Amino acid sequence: MVKRIAIFGSTGSIGTQALEVIEANADKFSAEILTAYTNDKLLVEQALKFNPNIVVITDERKYEVVKDALSNTQIKVFAGEKALNEVALMDSYDLMLAAIVGYAGFQPTLNAIEIGKPVALANKETLVVAGDIVMQKAFEKKVPVIPVDSEHSAIFQCLIGEGRNKIEKIILTASGGPFLGKKPNFLVNVKRDHALQHPNWTMGAKITIDSATLMNKGLEMIEAKWLFSLHPDQIQVMIHPQSIIHSMVQFEDGSIKAQMGLPDMKLPIQYALAFPQRLPNTFPRYDFKKPSTLTFEEPDLRTFRNLLLATDALYKGGNMPCILNAANEIAVFAFLRNKIGFLDITALVEKTMEKIDFIETPTLDEYLESDAEAREYAASLIQL
Ligand code: NAD
Ligand code: MG
């Protein structure tokens, strides 16, 4: 049976790679729903190629162009944020690939879980915003949440066959990003275009900046806590600049399992779409015969203070990760527009975490309010 995939965020880095996986496995997958924020051209191109049942363009000003371009097809076209959320509630798909970036991906993902649809989760922010609510809902609805993030996919794969064996700890590997080894006196002058050059991965702009500031690894610690029901003490971050070991699990007997491979997001995407199956492919293989050294070092927390802030939020829990995430989204957005400097990202997040009221066990509404308040406050700190 062909698995009908709803790709939320089909025009992004993850979304386009997922479509390559679908194209290469057309007997196994079809694209049922495609959604984009503003990139009407690519959405139309994808729609004409993959013939989905539904497309959504979130930016309503683009509705007419998309509608016109697809007028000779059976494809249904919707626009706006409300439509995005409603389409997630439709029964016509089998699995959602949550590949929207940031908080915008939260509600559609929660909606998919609400109606019992398995989720392949790339959008880590969803778990950072309200991981307890998302995972509780997934538990209630018996919905698998399969990680797409390479580190979490690695851990997920290491846990296959381990049943109830206890995890002693997980070791999340981090490339260290383009500024590994640099100090604040260098980082203070870093500009957007430099920060957008990641050594090992080609990704969307937001996650590329998060990788350069190490906030990405912080968000991933929080993501791991919820995906694998871990205590913060069980989560260790190690810098591994070659990105060959994608993460590791250490069990109670001291045995460590790692998942390895060349850095290529199509692998975890394909794994999540096909789970529990593995599919053959022609992706390049890691070759042990080629000279290479795998190295590991501790992150420089004095320089990359975002990782400290995220660790604080991880331990504190409640709405603190949600606040951290909201402030970070505002800060990264401002940095990408050259409104603030690289180190200001951390300052903005820190100030926002200090300012917004802490709530230990927020309701969903309180999470959403915390997000809005944190955004507003963080934005108010930026000189426009
Ligand atoms: P991207 O910026 O390349 O793509 C984002 C997608 O989301 C696009 O399709 C865009 O149209 C859509 N989108 C953006 N803002 C939106 C909004 N307000 N409303 C509706 N749609 C919106 O991002 P990406 O690199 O593909 O990352 C997507 C998610 O996957 C992120 O949460 C990221 O952290 C995670 N992730 C990405 C990678 C990677 O290699 N790119 C790896 C691990 C995890
Ligand atoms: Mg990752």
Ligand 1 lined by 147 (C-beta under 6 Å): no
Whether 229 has a pLDDT exceeding 90, the answer reads yes
Ligand 1 lined by 118 (C-beta under 6 Å): no
Whether 383 has a pLDDT exceeding 80, the answer reads no
For residue 276, say if its preceding peptide bond is cis, omega within 30 degrees of 0: yes
Ligand 1 lined by 215 (C-beta under 6 Å): no
The two tokens of residue 10 are: 């089909």
Among the ranges given (4-8, 93-97, 119-123, 163-167), the one the predictor scored with the smallest mean pLDDT: 163-167
Whether 246 has a pLDDT exceeding 90, the answer reads yes
56, 203, 328: residue to mutate for ligand 1 pocket, most atoms within 8 A of CB:
203
- Name residue, tokens 């350069």: 212
Predicted pLDDT at 295: 98
Task: Give the confidence band of 164 by pLDDT, cuts at 50, 70, 90.
Answer: confident
Ligand 1 atom having least distance to the Cα of 206: 2
Evaluate whether 118 touches 96 at the Cβ level (below 8 Å). yes
Burial group, residue 177, by CB count within 10 angstroms (0-12, 13-18, 19+): buried
Which ligand gives the minimal distance to the CA of 208? Answer: 1
Ligand 1 lined by 108 (C-beta under 6 Å): no
Whether 384 has a pLDDT exceeding 80, the answer reads no
Predicted pLDDT at 201: 84
62, 81, 207, 267: residue to mutate for ligand 1 pocket, most atoms within 8 A of CB:
207
CA separation (Å) from 34 to 96, 148, 288, 338? 10, 18, 39, 31
- pTM exceeds 0.95: yes
Predicted pLDDT at 198: 86
At a CB cut-off of 8 Å and minimum separation 6, what does 23 contact? 50
For residue 246, the CA-to-ligand 2 centroid distance in Å is 8
Ligand 1 atom having least distance to the Cα of 102: 32
Predicted pLDDT at 111: 98
Percent of the chain at pLDDT > 90 equals 97
Predicted pLDDT at 297: 98
315-336 pLDDT, tens digit each: 999 999 999 999 999 999 999 9
71-83 pLDDT, tens digit each: 999 999 999 999 9
335-363 pLDDT, tens digit each: 999 999 999 999 999 999 999 999 999 99
40, 96, 100, 202: residue to mutate for ligand 1 pocket, most atoms within 8 A of CB:
100
Percent of the chain at pLDDT > 70 equals 100
Ligand 1 lined by 39 (C-beta under 6 Å): yes
Evaluate whether 98 touches 109 at the Cβ level (below 8 Å). yes
11-61 pLDDT, tens digit each: 999 999 999 999 999 999 999 999 999 999 999 999 999 999 999 999 999
State the average pLDDT for the chain.
97
Closest Cα to atom 7, ligand 1: which residue? 100
258-315 pLDDT, tens digit each: 999 999 999 999 999 999 999 999 999 999 999 889 999 999 999 999 999 999 999 9
